Amino acid sequence: MSLMPALHRVAGTGRGLESAVAAAAILAMAVLPVAELALRPFGASIPGSHGFVQHLTLWVAFVGAMVAARERRHLTLSTGLKILPDPLSRRADMFAVAATTAVSAGLCWASLQFVRAELEFPMGGHGMWVPVWLLESIMPLAFAVMTLRFILQAEGRGGKLAGLAGPPLAAVIGLWLVPAVPGLALPLVGLLLLAAVLGAPIFVVIGGAALVLFVGAEVPIAAVPVETYRIVVSPSIPAIPLFTLAGYLLAEGRAGDRLVHLFRALFGWLPGGLPIVTTLVCAFFTTFTGASGATILALGGLLLPVLVRNMYGERFSLGLLTATGSIGLLFPPSLAVILYAVIARIPIPDLFVAGIVPGAIMVGAVCLYGVWRGHVDRTPRRPFDGREALAALNEAKWEIALPVVVLTGIFGGYGTLVELSAVTVVYVLLVGVLVHRDLTLARNVPQGILECVTLIGGVFTILGVAMGLTNYFVDAQVPMLAADWVEAHIESKLVFLLALNVFLLIVGCLMDIYSAIAVVVPLILPIAAAFGIHPLHLGIIFLANLELGYLTPPVGMNLFLAAYRFDKPVVEIWRAALPFLGLLALVVLLVTYVPAIIIGVPG
């Protein structure tokens, strides 16, 4: 394996450079819209700034994907449990590595074809002075680097050989086997599903399925990166990495401590006051980070000891933190809401408004359960102290003002969603660095940016290839065929809604919310329309079910994140989360069958 040292040197070159590029890109994404907003009253603007921000999102996404590969942070279905004996486990790892490098190399080749097509038939420069093909070239470069890293990270000589075999295997399958053997595409998709179960990243099964299905249908595989490019440079999508960055910067500072102090001063006198505090703080952070994992990892270590110290049982405390890790996903500026609205082509502000009441009911239900537990367990309470509450409010006033700034901007029409997300990043930076001084430019800010771009890289890689797979489904008329089948076999709207809940619950525990939105939403839109379900109602049903899926055994994402964060067996986390799962399931049924509680949906 004399080739390996040379490959390691190549992969190691530019580690600092890619982090710097990602940081520069996402900070430029924040600065340009704020500058546009400041110049607007004077009738001035920055030429091509909107196009630059959209294409900087592409760079943040794909440089982030390289970083995610470097840090081994691409999302997987693997639980990390060794359920196979050692010899079989090693072979399973080799199979997963070969599938991963094969698909990653295939996506690299497809992206090269896309860039070459742009060179021959330019789509327009978006008002920018930089050629679009040059900006798009980050896609094949990222997949090439990721392929190399997956090879180098494989364990043992056999794993590395399997990784090296992946790219030529992809060429053989794509150029000869699939075109020559009719019907081979579906068995290959089955093998990709097996690879995902054995530890391959989620983007491998989705992207690989898209590639083989397109090849089998004799459609150029450049269709996959075309859809990736289209969704990532959509006008509203830059808001997702920007709001995510704001959330991670809040987590890097002491915003969590200040909010806990404030809510505890306000609600600590109630029975169950501390669970109320936990629920509100976690909802706040999840709303901005868009990732339940970030909330559990950032706040779990802070809140669990406090809950246990105040005589709340460990099982209840673990369940509470696992459940509240995703409880803010319906509130603005939730990234899941933005993405759903983009995919379903409904107004983003309307979906934000529609999610407020259902989100509040979910938060209220968990808070009431906490109050009941506090009363039954006779947990200690603290008397209300007006002076302490005012002091805590003064300390946390900048964090409390942040949602007000965002909501006023969105619903008052003071700027576009992307501009307001950029304002949010600048606001958090200025407050953290200059006011509270708990964000340092040398340590906290780079760490927050690194965490953000790693998450965005992992999520957008999945989202991009999922859009490619969705495009295949649309071309194959799968949504319309599914709609016809459902109409023929299910006559009752109520029965359809119940079946939809069960289906989405399964989807939510098997897929991350972003790929589920990209793949599943186009499939269910025509079916829901056939039953006369309002688009906003469908959106809230979908997001609420996916939120519940995070808690659903055996593979809900929050369950494994909590097990990792608190160093507990996964089965113990399952038991702890079950009461909250049942409670939130009742809320989901309420949202499903009583659409009148959703603002904007006819009663």
Residue 49 backbone zone (phi > 0: left; psi -120 to 50: alpha; other: beta): alpha
Q: 383 vs 73, 258, 273, 400, 592, CA distance in Å?
A: 45, 19, 11, 23, 40
At 570, the pLDDT band (50, 70, 90 cuts) reads confident
DSSP 8-state secondary structure symbol assigned to residue 76:
B
pLDDT tens digits along 381-420: 888 899 999 999 999 999 999 988 888 888 888 888 899 9
Backbone φ and ψ for 201, nearest 5 degrees, come out as -60, 155
pLDDT tens digits along 508-547: 777 777 778 888 998 899 999 989 999 999 999 999 998 8
Torsion angle of alpha carbons 549, 453, 519, 541, nearest 10°? 40
Give which of 401, 355, 373, 392 is closest to 276, Cα–Cα: 373
Better-predicted residue by pLDDT, 259 or 79: 259
The partner residues of 76 in beta bridges, in order of sequence, read 201
At residue 7, does pLDDT exceed 70?
no
First to last CA, the chain: 68
Q: How many CB atoms lie within 10 A of CB 412?
A: 9
Amino acid identity at 296: I
Q: Where are the alpha helices (DSSP H) in 413-512?
A: 417-430, 444-475, 478-489, 493-510
Of 131-140, 449-458, 504-513, the one with minimum mean pLDDT is: 504-513
Tell the residue number behind the tokens 């209220």, with chain if given. Answer: 364
Give which of 452, 410, 448 is closest to 432, Cα–Cα: 448
DSSP 8-state secondary structure symbol assigned to residue 178:
H
DSSP states of 521-548: HHHHHHHHHHTT--HHHHHHHHHHHHHH
**In the chain, pLDDT over 70 holds for what percent of residues?**
93
At residue 79, does pLDDT exceed 50?
no
**Cβ-contact 147, 167 below 8 angstroms:** yes
The predicted structure's pLDDT at residue 120: 82
Q: How many CB atoms lie within 10 A of CB 399?
A: 20
3-state helix, strand, coil in the chain (%, to 5): 80, 0, 20
Q: How far apart are CA 274 and CA 229, in angstroms?
A: 45
Give which of 243, 337, 348 is closest to 285, Cα–Cα: 243
Amino acid identity at 360: A
The predicted structure's pLDDT at residue 566: 83
The predicted structure's pLDDT at residue 1: 47
Give which of 121, 162, 146 is closest to 61, Cα–Cα: 146
Q: 203 vs 14, 172, 454, 505, CA distance in Å?
A: 24, 21, 14, 21
Q: How far apart are CA 408 and CA 425, in angstroms?
A: 16
DSSP 8-state secondary structure symbol assigned to residue 199:
T
Strand, coil or helix: what is 201?
strand
Question: Domain ranges in the chain?
Answer: 3-232, 239-597
Better-predicted residue by pLDDT, 64 or 252: 64
Q: Is 378 exposed, middle or buried (0-12, 13-18, 19+ CB in 10 A)?
A: exposed
Better-predicted residue by pLDDT, 312 or 144: 144
Q: How many CB atoms lie within 10 A of CB 341?
A: 23
Q: How far apart are CA 360 and CA 354, in angstroms?
A: 11
Give which of 223, 264, 261, 293 is closest to 454, Cα–Cα: 293
Q: How far apart are CA 479 and CA 482, in angstroms?
A: 5
On average, the pLDDT of the chain sits at: 87
The predicted structure's pLDDT at residue 80: 44
Q: Which residues of 226-265 are buried (b: 16+ CB within 10 A; e: fewer)?
A: bbbbebbbeebbbbbbbbbbbbbbbbbbbbbebbbbbbbb
Backbone φ and ψ for 76, nearest 5 degrees, come out as -135, 165
